[in-house]
Chains A and B, each alone.
Chain A
Amino acid sequence: MSNTPLVQVEHLTRYYSQTRAVNDVSFNLARGEVLGFLGPNGAGKSTTMQIITGNLAPSAGQISIDGVDLLDQPKQAKQAIGYLPEQPPVYRELTVDEYLQYCARLNRIPRSRIGAAVATAKDRCGLGDVARRLIGNLSKGYQQRAGIAQAIIHNPAVVILDEPTVGLDPLQIREIRALISELGKEHGIILSTHILPEVQATCNRVQIIHHGRLVFSDSTSGMTHRHATTSLIAVFNNAPDVDSLSQVNGVERVEPLEDGHMRIHYSDTDPAEALVEQAATQQWRLCELTPERRTLEQIFIELTCSEAPLHEDAA
């Protein structure tokens, strides 16, 4: 059991008439993994998620959820899925309690356990105070939470969240991120978002999809290593000239910037330590030294802003 990935997507393709919205996408999701799905608008994120949750049929490809084929045994496979679509699927005329009870029944939770399941879901999503209010009268943030509660009520193995933090205030965003990290311990989670720091905060794997293709897939920790620092930004109160800086062991090139900032490029050895040492003996009065990371944002922009041939780069 533990060897089979929770979600296995193979060569998924989906056409909308002539447009190919999703193009040969394959990936796996393991238990205890939080997968961040990134991409510009219209890249195919939502379509992919709708296909994995059985809301859309793929034009080609295979999906299995917890070892069960979604297309052959949809009922059994769907039991292991909790899904929050872009628009929370809430009934405005029901109260939060009624709504969650209905969702619990739809997901075939035994009658005796419905009460407990509803209470847990409310508790996890912070809905206790509004349990008796009509969903239509709640703010967008609470409706979103009701949508998340609905997705986790039957304790599914896979939770799929399409932009879960849209419309929430910063405090709620923090709570939801904490909830996602907590859920990620026992479940597998796929979440899509536009907010890049969110991915770095909550996910342990990132996939970038562009024009329906997967163009980037890496773990967040691997990403920080692999796309590691290649330059430092230093600020000196008593700045030395470029030449003497270049003498420092490991420095490849020095690029003076505005306001006394210097960008120091290096390739193999990190010159930070040597720099500090030199600065102390030569009285350069170093007051700031920061490694420049290639952030997720840079990777994202590189992959999605350049035009067509980037598929080959990624492949």
Chain B
Amino acid sequence: MILTIAARELRSLFLSPLAWSILAVTLFILAYLFLSQIEAYVTLQPRLAALEGAPGVADIVVAPLLADAAVVLLLVTPLVTMRVLSEERRNGTISLLFSAPLSMTEIVVGKYLGVVAFFLILLGLLALMPLSLLAGTELDLGKLAAGLLGLTLVVSAFAAIGVYMSSLTEQPTVAAVTTFGLLLLLWIIDWAGNRQMEEESNALAELSMLRHYEPLLKGLFNSADVAYYLLVILLFIGFSIRRLDAHRLQP
């Protein structure tokens, strides 16, 4: 039942030009970044060759690419998630789901998985760029895998926040703006902390999405970082379910 909803969500995304244009624009920008990183690597290569234990392609090309990809996706996610629940409420189609034998959890999780599936397609296409380097050079596949896992977790957390924001309002644009605001805040929350006392900055750094993403880009798989993203996802999915229930109970 969850999969039925997820499949329809994904299909509806691709039936509108929005998904296609998001895929096209995002991949175009990332391809440009990818190519400029390769150029940087080519100019650095003679000097790197002389160094012992020098950083490889994975460090110079792949890690910056995935880091930039997270920022691009931060801008794109609100556009994908904004209409997930808000549009159903605005068009009254939500009552189709409410009067069908479905629980709120099934509705929210189904919707969420549909959005995540869209991003997995995007990430799959993105992964082809670094993998194409295998044709001409060696690549640290472990680092690439860790980076991709990190990006998947980041985007899944973005999507969960987006779904929640979409459950709050009937206006997709409002959902998009609030999602973007919250994502950006979570991304930069530790910037303020740098100038503060040590303890405070630690607490804020723990909240920052960027701080938990960086180790994965370096190939460091830390279960605390993974747990952070899973917690964010569960928290916001839970919020969305409660929010839909509250819609039924509205005073």
Contact = CB atoms under 8 A, between A and B. Distances in A.
Interface string B91-109: 1111111111111000000
A155 to B, nearest CB: 14
A86 B98 CA distance: 14
Interface residue SS majority, chain B: helix
Interface string A92-115: 111000000011011110000000
Interface stretch (A71-79, A221-229, A236-244): A71-79
A53 B249 CA distance: 13
Interface in B229-251: 248-251
Nearest to B110: A106
A4 B160 CA distance: 44
B51 interface: no
Given A17-B251, A57-B248, A85 B92 contact: yes
B8 A93 contact: no
A56 interface: yes
B92 A107 contact: no
Contacts of B251: 15-17
A85 B93 CA distance: 9
B50 interface: no
A83 interface: yes
Given A55-B95, A85-B95, A106 B248 contact: no
A78 B100 contact: yes
Given A83-B95, A106-B4, A108-B1, A91 B12 contact: yes
B12 A53 contact: no
Contact of B93 (A15, A82, A83, A90): A90
A54 interface: yes
B192 to A, nearest CB: 39
Contacts of B99: 53-55, 78, 81-83
Which of B97, B101, B249, B250 has most chain A Cβ within 10 Å? B101
Contacts of A87: 91-92
B15 interface: yes
A223 B146 CA distance: 75
Nearest to A160: B99
Nearest to A83: B99
B239 to A, nearest CB: 19
B16 interface: yes
A150 interface: yes
Contacts of A91: 12, 91, 93
B101 A76 contact: yes
Nearest to B12: A93
Contact of A53 (B1, B8, B95, B102): B95
Which of B4, B15, B93, B96 has most chain A Cβ within 10 Å? B96
B248 A105 contact: no
A161 to B, nearest CB: 12
A61 interface: no
B1 A89 contact: no
A89 B93 contact: yes
Contact of A102 (B4, B95, B98): B4
A17 B16 CA distance: 38
A106 B92 contact: no
A102 B110 CA distance: 13
B119 to A, nearest CB: 20
B101 A79 contact: yes
B249 A57 contact: yes
A106 B103 contact: no
A170 to B, nearest CB: 26
Contacts of B91: 87, 89, 91-92
B108 to A, nearest CB: 15
B92 A78 contact: no
Contacts of B94: 89
Given A15-B251, A55-B248, A106-B1, A150 B101 contact: no
A75 B143 CA distance: 46
Contacts of A75: 101-103
B96 A150 contact: yes
A103 B248 contact: no
A55 B248 CA distance: 6
Given A56-B248, A75-B103, A106 B95 contact: no
A16 B99 CA distance: 21
A273 to B, nearest CB: 54
B94 to A, nearest CB: 8
A89 B96 contact: yes
Interface in B1-18: 1, 4-5, 8, 12, 15-16
Interface of B: 1, 4-5, 8, 12, 15-16, 91-103, 248-251
Given A17-B251, A75-B101, A79-B101, 8 more contacts: A55-B95, A57-B249, A74-B101, A74-B103, A75-B103, A93-B15, A106-B97, A108-B101
Task: Give 3 nearest A-B pairs by CB, closest first.
Answer: A89-B96, A83-B99, A87-B92
13 contacts: A53-B98, A54-B99, A55-B98, A57-B248, A76-B101, A81-B99, A83-B99, A89-B91, A94-B15, A106-B1, A106-B96, A106-B97, A106-B100
